[in-house]
């Protein structure tokens, strides 16, 4: 899922200056699961904005709403009236949700209330970790299902580096060494020979190259 | 200068299994405590959400006291430890918002600690009295908030 976290109240107050009526719009999907932008967080952030704006002498009237999914036009319609009656929207969706809203409501200022951080998983209560950098050409099969691009601090495809320790990365002592994990996992599944293969330079044209990436599925077009 | 007459309004969320029982015992033992405190019984302090504390302060409570079981003594094992983390989180948020974090406090008592609970309540009232009224009580809200879901 997409993992995000809230911006601080002073950051929000700076962003929201000059908007007397604000809709705080939550999203019921990824950011609800990562406890950053669901119905409960909407209530918390709306309350914080109301309090902070009153204390700063410029009270903001805040409406709260959470829809099922912000990155989908079908669900965005459910917010149309609420968006209409407010002077701006603070989206608690991920970056995709914020932009979907802004595209759909061209005349309305739409702001991001969260910092969208990464694609990851819930490790244990209150701890999320990044697992995938969406590079566009997945190589997990060669690395025992452990992503070296995301989880190795040096993004090494031919690792480990010289500083690897059995239990930790030399760059971030609080992280496991991805290459130790790759080695262990390949060993466990009897595919250690894969580690001998020299990985060629990765083709990054599927990643951060030439603007946003698009997928067109002719079989699904009408 | 803060008027001597300022009588803070304090909400006290009291866990059914400890603080609420102690509050009951305070009554039986005829222990006086300031009438500034309105007690709300909660099944466990772990039931208390971040937005409960924010809402109470937003709506004008001068202080919020959370009274749970002694650490290690929670009827539901770790509800009071969850509450402690949430209280600390909201205290940090209050600083961001611009409200004194001392307006929210968590204390731990057992069901037999009537006198200590009375003292903790007195101390909370004194702390909030020193802080003065919650500025949100006097400032005007933008208007009634609306909630849709
Ligand atoms: S190889 Fe690319 S797509 Fe696969 S997990 Fe790593 S970053 Fe994600
Ligand atoms: S110690 Fe391991 S994870 Fe860290 S940079 Fe080196 S190979 Fe990568």
How is the beta sheet containing A2-6 ordered, strand by strand?
Answer: A2-6, A114-124, A127-132
Tens of pLDDT, residues A41-92:
999 999 999 999 999 999 999 999 999 999 999 999 999 999 999 999 999 9
pLDDT the model gives residue B3: 52
Distance from CA of A111 to the nearest CA of B (A): 19
**DSSP at A79:** G
pLDDT the model gives residue A167: 84
pLDDT the model gives residue A64: 98
Supply the pTM of this predicted model. Answer: 0.92
Q: Which domains does chain A have, with CATH numbers?
A: 2-118 (3.40.50.2300), 136-206 (no CATH)
Sequential DSSP letters for B63-110: EEEEEEPPTT-BTTBSHHHHHHHHHHHHHHHHHHHTS-GGGEEEEE--
| Residue A180 structure tokens | 């130790």
Q: Are A77 and A66 within 8 A, CB to CB?
A: no
Query: Strand A21-27 relative to strand B37-42: parallel, antiparallel, unpaired?
Result: unpaired
pLDDT category, B143, cuts 50, 70, 90?
low
- Output the residue whose Cα is nearest ligand 1's atom 1: A138
Sequential DSSP letters for B35-48: TTEEEEEES-GGG-
B99–A8: do the CB atoms touch at under 8 Å?
Answer: no
A44–B145: do the CB atoms touch at under 8 Å?
Answer: no
Chain B contact for A32, CB < 8 A? Answer: no
Question: Which residues surround ligand 2 with Cβ inside 6 Å?
Answer: A 152-154, 156, 159-161, 163-164, 169-171, 177-179
**DSSP at A173:** T
Would you tell me which CATH number, out of the four given (3.40.50.2000, 3.40.50.300, 3.40.50.960, 3.40.50.720), belongs to the domain B8-134?
Answer: 3.40.50.960
Would the pLDDT of A197 be above 80? Answer: yes
Query: In this predicted model, which residue has the larger pLDDT, B141 or B24?
Result: B24
Give the mutation candidate from A37, A51, A90 for the B interface (greatest B CB count, under 10 A): A51
Average pLDDT, chain B: 93
CA B119 vs CA A11, A199, A213, B14: distances in Å = 39, 69, 63, 15
Tens of pLDDT, residues B84-140:
999 999 999 999 999 999 999 999 999 999 999 999 999 999 999 999 999 998 777
Chain B contact for A28, CB < 8 A? Answer: no
Chain B contact for A78, CB < 8 A? Answer: no
pLDDT the model gives residue B142: 73
pLDDT category, B146, cuts 50, 70, 90?
very low
């Amino acid at each position: 899922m997409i993992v995000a976290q809230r911006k601080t109240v002073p950051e929000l107050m700076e962003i929201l200056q000059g908007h007397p009526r604000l809709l705080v719009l939550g999203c019921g999907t990824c950011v609800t699961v990562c406890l950053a932008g669901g119905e409960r967080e909407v209530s918390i952030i709306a309350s914080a904005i109301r309090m902070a704006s009153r204390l700063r002498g410029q009270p903001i009237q805040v409406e709260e709403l959470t829809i099922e999914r912000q990155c989908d036009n079908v669900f965005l319609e459910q917010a149309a009236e609420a968006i209409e009656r407010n002077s701006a929207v603070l989206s608690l969706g991920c970056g995709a949700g914020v932009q979907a809203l802004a595209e759909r409501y061209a005349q309305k200022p739409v702001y991001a209330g969260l910092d969208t951080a990464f694609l990851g998983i819930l490790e244990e209560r209150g701890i999320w970790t990044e697992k995938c950098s969406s590079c566009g050409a997945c190589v997990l099969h060669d690395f025992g299902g452990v992503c070296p691009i995301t989880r190795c601090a040096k993004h090494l495809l031919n690792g480990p580096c010289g500083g690897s320790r059995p239990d930790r990365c030399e760059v971030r002592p609080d992280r496991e060494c991805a290459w130790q994990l790759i080695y262990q996992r390949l060993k466990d599944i009897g595919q250690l020979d894969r580690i001998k293969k020299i990985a060629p330079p990765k083709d990054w044209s599927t990643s951060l190259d030439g603007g946003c990436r698009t997928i067109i599925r002719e079989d699904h077009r009408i | 200068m803060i008027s001597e007459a300022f009588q803070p309004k304090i909400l006290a969320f009291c866990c059914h299994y400890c603080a609420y029982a102690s509050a009951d015992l305070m009554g039986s033992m005829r222990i006086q405590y300031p009438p500034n405190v309105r007690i709300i019984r909660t099944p466990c302090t772990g039931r208390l959400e971040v937005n409960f504390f924010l809402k109470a302060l937003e709506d004008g409570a001068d202080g919020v006291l959370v009274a749970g079981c002694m650490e290690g003594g929670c009827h539901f094992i770790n509800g009071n430890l969850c509450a402690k983390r949430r209280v600390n989180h909201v205290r940090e948020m209050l600083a961001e918002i611009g409200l004194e974090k001392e307006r929210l406090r968590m204390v731990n008592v057992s069901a037999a600690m009537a006198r200590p609970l009375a003292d903790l309540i007195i101390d909370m009232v004194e702390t909030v009295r020193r802080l003065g009224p919650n500025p949100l009580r006097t400032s005007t809200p933008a208007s009634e908030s609306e909630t849709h879901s």
